[in-house]
Amino acid sequence: MPGTLYIVATPIGNLEDISPRTKRILADVALIACEDTRHTRKLLSHLGLSTPLTSYYREKEQYKAEVLLEKLIAGQDLALVSDAGTPGLSDPGAVLVRQARGAGIKIVPIPGPSALAVAISVAGLTENSFFFGGFPPSRKAARRTLFKGLAALPWPLIFYESPHRIRACLEDCLATLGNRQVLLCRELTKLYEECIPGSVTTVLARVTDGIKGELVLIVHPPAPIAEEQPDNLTELLAWYHDQPDMTLKEAVHRISEDLGLARNMVYREALAVWQDKR
């Protein structure tokens, strides 16, 4: 009889989040495939386990999937884990799962922590849908192309991002999506867990000097124009002027983007309104 492949979610930070079922599966399987054996060995040490480990990382995923499939066909039960969270979710795993399913191997998910689910749970989202984009492209042009393609979606946009790229990512969000409301979560479930809410410009200022930890960025959909906002441009600018923390620059940007008006024309009108309101 062939073995069973267990797809096992592991803690994203706090080791107390591991379930009794997860511990039992990791103890019972013949082998655990993991991204970094050093990282997973620390987890097993915490659990008091000594199950054999083998590496399974992105660059060798195709080759290692074939090796692991042979073990499954031979009757061994295997567990696949990532360094943190749920395998296959912006982590290696898909190649092995597809090959195992094609070979008729039984695949059993062992649910647990996911940075995506954890971030959503504290974001206060009211929408029933969202778009998850994993890690945005590392190159600026490709990243902006992605964001522009998502600009019209009426749902929150959720991404993973690394500390050394978050500033560039937010700058591209501002350039392509506007100054939307966002929530930047870092180090979820860990000692220095933090969720930073605000506009893109506000959060961008927060990360200018650097930020540490694993990051999840939630970009809220564009705020609908309130029904009571007037159609007249001067009155519309006056309405924006009276909103808390609204700057002239931000008002010009929003109106020109929302109404498709030339920014220099809106800027001239805004200057007059801001001077009259002094």
- Specify whether 123 is located in the same domain as 78: no
Per residue in 18-50, pLDDT (tens digit) is 999 999 999 999 999 999 999 999 999 999 999
- Specify whether 148 is located in the same domain as 58: no
Inter-CA distances, 188 with 136, 168, 193, Å: 20, 22, 5
pLDDT band at 6 (very low <50, low <70, confident <90, very high): very high
Give the residue with greater pLDDT, 258 vs 193: 193
H helices of 10-113, in order, are 20-28, 37-47, 61-73, 94-102
Give the residue with greater pLDDT, 267 vs 166: 166
Sequence-separated (6 or more) residues with CB below 8 Å from residue 209: none
Could you tell me which residues are beta bridge partners of residue 80? Answer: 7, 33
- Residue 24 within a domain: yes
What is residue 90's predicted lDDT score, i.e. its pLDDT? 87
- Specify whether 127 is located in the same domain as 191: yes
What is residue 103's predicted lDDT score, i.e. its pLDDT? 96
- CA atoms of 177 and 173, how far apart (whole Å): 5
What's the number of domains the chain is made of? 3
Could you tell me which residues are beta bridge partners of residue 158? Answer: 132, 218
Residue 69 has pLDDT above 70, yes or no: yes
What is residue 231's predicted lDDT score, i.e. its pLDDT? 61
Query: In the numeric block, which tokens belong to residue 165?
Result: 């790229």
- Specify whether 125 is located in the same domain as 103: no
- Specify whether 101 is located in the same domain as 127: no
Per residue in 108-134, pLDDT (tens digit) is 999 999 999 999 999 999 888 999 999
Mean pLDDT of 173-185: 95
Please count the other Cβ atoms lying within 10 Å of the Cβ belonging to residue 58: 10
For the chain, give the percent of residues with pLDDT over 70: 97
Domain that holds residue 184: 116-219
Mean pLDDT of 212-234: 77
List the CATH number of the domain containing 138: 3.30.950.10
- CA atoms of 65 and 200, how far apart (whole Å): 41
What is residue 224's predicted lDDT score, i.e. its pLDDT? 66
The per-residue pLDDT of the chain, averaged, comes to: 92
- Residue 240 within a domain: yes
